[in-house]
Every structure is written in C-alpha cells, then in structure tokens.
Amino acid sequence: MKTALNTLKKTYSFASVIEDFKQLTKVGLAISVVFSSLAGYLLAVGSDGFSFKILSLLAFGGYFMVGASNAFNQIIEKDLDAKMDRTKNRPVASGRMSVTTAFIIAALFTILGIGILYIINPRTAMFGAISIFLYTCVYTPLKTKTPLAVFVGAFPGAIPFMLGWVAATNQFGIEPGILFMIQFFWQFPHFWAIGWFLYDDYKKGGFFMLPTGKKNKATALQIIMYTVWLILISIFPVSGLTGELKLSIVAAVLVFLAGVGLLYYGIRLYKNMDNKSAKALMLASVGYITLMQIIFVVDKFLQ
C-alpha cells in the first residue's frame, strides 16, 4: 500500500513538472507558431525540393524560440501575473518554479533555438534572435506603460510566417515581406479581442492592451479597420506583384470569404460591445489565420 502511494506521488510530481514546463513555454502557442513557420517554408519551396531535415530544424528551432520568449516573459512579469486570475497559477508566479530554474530553461532554449535556426541559415537565426529580443526586452516592459505595446508586440508576432520563407531561401524580399505583413495586421483584431474580454483581469496587473485604453466604439472601430487591412494584404498576392508568392483567383476568393467572416465578428463586436462578441472574434481570428495559411499552401502545391 505504501509503495503504491509513493509511486502515485512520484507520478503526480512528474506529471506536475511536465505541466509546469508546458505552461512556462506555452506549448499551445508554440505549436501555432511552428505551424506558421512551416507554412511559410512550404510556400517557398512548393511540392518540389522541400526537405524534411529543414522542416524538422524549423519546427524545433521555432519551438525553442517561442519557449524562450515566454519563459523570459513569465520571469519578468511574475509579480503581475500573480495578481491576475488568468495567470496566477503559472509556475513562476505561483512559486512552484523558481526564477533560477525558469531562467536556466529560458537561456537554454535561446541558445538551442538560435543555434538550430543558424544551422538552417544565418538570416533565419538573425530573425529568430530579433523576435526573442523584441518580445522580451521591448514588448513585455511596454505592456504596463502604453497600449502601443500591442503594436510593438506585433513585430515579433509576425516573424514566424516569414521565417519559413527565409529558412528556405536565405533571402528577405517582397515575398517574406508580404507574409510578415499578413501576420502583422492579424495581431490587432486577435489581441485586441483578447484584451477586450480580459479587460478587468488585465487591469489587475496594470496592463494596457486596448488602443484607446477602454472597451468603447473607438477600439471596436480600430479592430474593424485593421481587419480590412488584413483582408486586403492577404489577397494581394493574386495581383502577381509579389514575386514568387502567388495566389490563384480561386484561392484569393476563398481567402477573401474567410476574411469577410472575420470582419463580420468585428462588426458584431462594434454593435454589441460585449465580452461574448469579443471571445467569438478571438476564436474567429485563430480560425482565419489557420485557414488562410492552409489555403495558401494548398494553392501553392496545386500550381
């Protein structure tokens, strides 16, 4: 009986350590980032010549890059995280994991992430390092200072989609630039929707996430405006003016319809001004970016 209890205790302890590790590195977010990076890579190489080795390196490098950023973020914000219901149970904020342990993980992930991306090519590693720096040293401190933090945070948030293209070509041109702009404009309806329905919780930590600082018509209108820009830049490759990044008319129509769907939720938030509409917009934004990337890749493979 005692042996069984000891085994159960060890199992629970091991499971809790793994769960804390997943929370520290935000595995769910990391997977979405890796997905964007792989989509960007496949857009660059198409069905001919893609390398499973590069795909694997990009996946692991992307995960370590995101994991490092999130770990540093949770170290810096541990006292503020402890004040908010959404984050108070995070490993560092709750005290289950020491700052030293979290720092070691963050530093190790930084070295592994940049090192693995460097194996692909130097430019990929450079953009990975820029992403970690901007997220940790610029975006994170600004969150308690100004709503412009979301604008700044959109830069590292937009890097993954273009990172895949750079990994494939070791070049930065109009193609990765367009991919960057797509994910850049996407950040605003996505994170402002989150900032809307978590407004009261963010307020406890002193975070300024909404562009006007309030849940008002002006904020909702800006969400609509950035969504329109997102739709326009997403279908721009159909023009044939974006180099090797191309989009067929059929694919452009599908992307446009997905964008109209996202815009509908933005307009609904403008009309209703409630948390329910903001949550629906956030979920729609996740659906949009995923569907859009799938359409782009499938269209590339069918060309």
Shared domain for 193 and 153, answered yes or no, is no
Q: What does 198-246 look like in DSSP terms, one character per residue?
A: THHHHHHHT---STTSSSSHHHHHHHHHHHHHHHHHHHGGGGS-STT--
Q: List strand residue ranges (DSSP E) for the chain, in order.
A: none
Which of 133, 148, 172 terminates a domain? The answer is 172
Instruction: For residue 208, name the pLDDT band (cuts at 50, 70, 90).
Output: confident
pTM exceeds 0.85, yes or no: yes
Instruction: For residue 25, name the pLDDT band (cuts at 50, 70, 90).
Output: confident
Shared domain for 191 and 281, answered yes or no, is yes
Rg for the chain (alpha carbons), in Å? 20
User: d(Cα 262, Cα 245) in Å, to the nearest integer?
Assistant: 23
Which of 146, 172, 198 terminates a domain? The answer is 172
Shared domain for 149 and 180, answered yes or no, is no
**Residue 9 domain-assigned (yes or no):** no
Shared domain for 223 and 277, answered yes or no, is yes
CATH code (residue 97):
1.10.357.140
User: What single letter denotes the amino acid at residue 97?
Assistant: M
Shared domain for 251 and 264, answered yes or no, is yes
User: d(Cα 78, Cα 65) in Å, to the nearest integer?
Assistant: 20
Q: What is the mean pLDDT of residues 105-125?
A: 95
Shared domain for 117 and 168, answered yes or no, is yes
More confident residue, 296 or 87: 296
Shared domain for 288 and 191, answered yes or no, is yes
User: What single letter denotes the amino acid at residue 151?
Assistant: F
Count how many domains the chain has: 2
Q: 259: how many CB neighbours lie within 10 A of its CB?
A: 21
Domain carrying residue 215: 173-303
Q: What is the mean pLDDT of residues 168-173?
A: 90
Q: What is the mean pLDDT of residues 61-71?
A: 94
CB 296 within 8 A of CB 247: yes
Q: Tell me, what's the pLDDT at 245?
A: 93
User: d(Cα 153, Cα 49) in Å, to the nearest integer?
Assistant: 34
Q: Tell me, what's the pLDDT at 276?
A: 97
Q: Tell me, what's the pLDDT at 246?
A: 92
Which of 172, 194, 227 terminates a domain? The answer is 172
Shared domain for 122 and 232, answered yes or no, is no
Q: What is the mean pLDDT of residues 165-176?
A: 92
User: d(Cα 132, Cα 58) in Å, to the nearest integer?
Assistant: 15
Instruction: For residue 16, name the pLDDT band (cuts at 50, 70, 90).
Output: confident
Q: Tell me, what's the pLDDT at 20?
A: 86
Shared domain for 166 and 43, answered yes or no, is yes
Helices (H) and strands (E) in the chain, counts: 14, 0
Shared domain for 25 and 168, answered yes or no, is yes
Q: What is the mean pLDDT of residues 36-51?
A: 87
User: d(Cα 75, Cα 78) in Å, to the nearest integer?
Assistant: 5
Tens digits of residue pLDDT in 137-167? 999 999 989 888 999 999 999 999 999 999 9
